């Protein structure tokens, strides 16, 4: 071994030990921060947002840490295993989604004994629902992304059948990527609230409809709102008749208009960067002036917030 290599190796080894120690220490602090949710005081809606915007951690690093912090609430053994150096953070992240109180000892021992790839296989063997390949989606250039995932064999056969149907309708051979594109488009047309809201707009702009037709439209949109995987709710939403205090539910038509108006995206604007939150999932409808303060269900008084910013908004308005 050359002197140059020895010197550089010693330096790298020393720094990587410091790096791993820092990672563990940072995890410990983040656990405390999450326990008291002190990031809310500073206007950060979640630990993820705080760790990326205030601490400058990358999306991946913050995702790894936050996943472990959240799982450690239910399974403190996970955090302890990282603290004691039993398993590195990367493996803790790998087992975290599947960890329960019951299997924690076994999974932590597996993580300790195996390299990452073998660990994924072992997890899959222990729980048949866990895929033997980790799901991964990454952007590879300006227009394309690569997706790798593990599917049940029957689902793959169904995708092949869909591929045949798409090929037939286009009168040419169509690959899996294009098949998936068509299937997703079809699904969103039927299930996506943004698309439903757009169609609601189109229906509204058409000639006047008969009473029976308009009743049906309301019934359909109500059912759509109920069936939707998007969770529109209000933090103070009454659960029972006794708790309503005269609160009137937001009509489905107004909900659709709130979605259209705000382009199906959280409307929170970061006061530091002036950037709008890009979340399009788990959106809540929020009363700008609360119902308790006399706020109504009028479109101007309603806005869309992601669950984290909804919580932040109420935290700030209550304190
Ligand atoms: Zn609200
Ligand atoms: Zn948001």
Buried residues in 310-319 as b, exposed as e (16+ CB within 10 A): bbbbbeeeee
**Residues 261 and 302 both lie in one domain:** yes
Instruction: Report which of residues 229 and 2 the model is more confident about.
Output: 2
* pLDDT reading at 317 higher than 70: yes
The beta strands (E) that lie in the chain are given as 136-139, 145-148, 283-287, 302-306
**Residues 212 and 172 both lie in one domain:** no
Band (19; pLDDT cuts 50, 70, 90): very high
**Residues 164 and 282 both lie in one domain:** no
CA of 257 to the centre of ligand 2 (A): 19
Residue 204 within any structural domain of the chain: yes
Q: Could you report the per-residue pLDDT of 126-165, keeping only the tens digit for each?
A: 887 777 677 778 888 888 888 888 888 889 889 999 998 8
Question: What average pLDDT score do residues 44-50 get?
Answer: 93
The rounded mean pLDDT for the chain is 84
Token pair belonging to 138: 């990454």
Band (57; pLDDT cuts 50, 70, 90): very high
CA of 262 to the centre of ligand 2 (A): 12
> Which range has the worst mean pLDDT, 118-132, 264-278, 299-313?
118-132
Judged by its nearest atom, the ligand closest to the C-alpha of residue 316 is: 1
pLDDT at position 2 is 83
**Residues 81 and 12 both lie in one domain:** yes
**Residues 211 and 299 both lie in one domain:** yes
Residue 114 within any structural domain of the chain: yes
Judged by its nearest atom, the ligand closest to the C-alpha of residue 313 is: 1
**Residues 77 and 172 both lie in one domain:** no
* pLDDT reading at 38 higher than 70: yes
Judged by its nearest atom, the ligand closest to the C-alpha of residue 286 is: 1
Cβ–Cβ < 8 Å for 74, 103: no
Judged by its nearest atom, the ligand closest to the C-alpha of residue 235 is: 1
* pLDDT reading at 291 higher than 80: yes
**Residues 165 and 211 both lie in one domain:** no
Burial class (CB in 10 A: 0-12, 13-18, 19+), 290: middle
Instruction: Report which of residues 231 and 303 the model is more confident about.
Output: 303
Look up the domain containing 65 and give its range: 3-136
pLDDT at position 149 is 84
* pLDDT reading at 255 higher than 80: yes
**Residues 132 and 236 both lie in one domain:** no
**Residues 306 and 257 both lie in one domain:** yes
Judged by its nearest atom, the ligand closest to the C-alpha of residue 233 is: 1
The structure's pTM equals 0.64
CA of 83 to the centre of ligand 1 (A): 38
Helix or strand or coil: residue 61?
Answer: helix
CA of 11 to the centre of ligand 1 (A): 53
CA of 237 to the centre of ligand 1 (A): 9
pLDDT at position 191 is 76
**Residues 220 and 245 both lie in one domain:** yes
Q: Total domain count for the chain?
A: 3
Q: Count CB atoms within 10 A of the CB of residue 32.
A: 10
**Residues 209 and 261 both lie in one domain:** yes
Cβ–Cβ < 8 Å for 132, 150: yes
CA of 222 to the centre of ligand 2 (A): 25
Burial class (CB in 10 A: 0-12, 13-18, 19+), 175: exposed
Band (235; pLDDT cuts 50, 70, 90): very low
Q: To the nearest 5 percent, what fractions of the chain are helix, strand and coil? A: 60, 5, 30
CA of 56 to the centre of ligand 2 (A): 18
pLDDT at position 212 is 52
Q: What is the C-alpha to C-alpha distance for residues 67 and 254, in angstroms, rounded to an integer?
A: 36
Residue 145 within any structural domain of the chain: no
CA of 150 to the centre of ligand 1 (A): 39
Residue 142 within any structural domain of the chain: no
The radius of gyration of the chain from alpha carbons, rounded to an integer in Å, stands at: 25
């Amino acid at each position: 071994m050359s002197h140059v290599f020895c010197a550089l190796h010693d330096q790298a080894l020393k720094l990587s030990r410091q790096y791993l120690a820092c990672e563990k220490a940072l995890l410990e602090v983040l656990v405390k921060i999450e326990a008291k949710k002190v990031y809310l005081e500073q206007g950060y809606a979640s630990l993820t947002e705080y760790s990326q915007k205030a601490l400058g951690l990358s999306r991946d690093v913050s995702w790894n840490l936050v996943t472990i912090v959240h799982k450690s609430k239910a399974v403190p053994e996970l955090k302890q295993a990282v603290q004691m150096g039993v398993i590195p953070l990367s493996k803790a992240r790998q087992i975290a989604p599947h960890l329960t109180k019951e299997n924690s000892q076994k999974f932590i021992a597996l993580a300790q004994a195996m390299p990452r790839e073998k660990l994924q296989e072992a997890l899959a063997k222990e729980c048949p629902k866990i895929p033997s390949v980790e799901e991964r989606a990454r952007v590879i250039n300006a227009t394309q992304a690569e997706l790798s995932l593990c599917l049940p064999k029957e689902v793959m056969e169904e995708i092949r059948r869909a591929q045949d149907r798409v090929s037939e309708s286009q009168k040419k051979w169509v690959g899996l990527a294009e098949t998936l594109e068509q299937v997703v488009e079809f699904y969103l047309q039927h299930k996506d609230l943004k698309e439903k809201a757009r169609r609601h707009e189109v229906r509204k702009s058409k000639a006047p409809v008969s009473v029976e037709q308009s009743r049906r439209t309301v019934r359909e949109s109500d059912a759509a709102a109920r069936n939707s995987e998007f969770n529109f709710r209000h933090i103070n939403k009454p659960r029972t008749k006794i708790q309503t205090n005269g609160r009137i539910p937001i009509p489905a038509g107004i909900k659709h208009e709130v979605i259209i108006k705000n382009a199906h995206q959280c409307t929170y604007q970061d006061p530091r960067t002036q950037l709008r939150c890009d979340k399009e999932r788990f959106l809540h409808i929020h009363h700008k002036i609360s119902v308790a303060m006399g706020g109504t269900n009028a479109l101007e008084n309603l806005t869309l917030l992601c669950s984290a910013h909804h919580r932040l908004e109420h935290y700030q308005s209550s304190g």
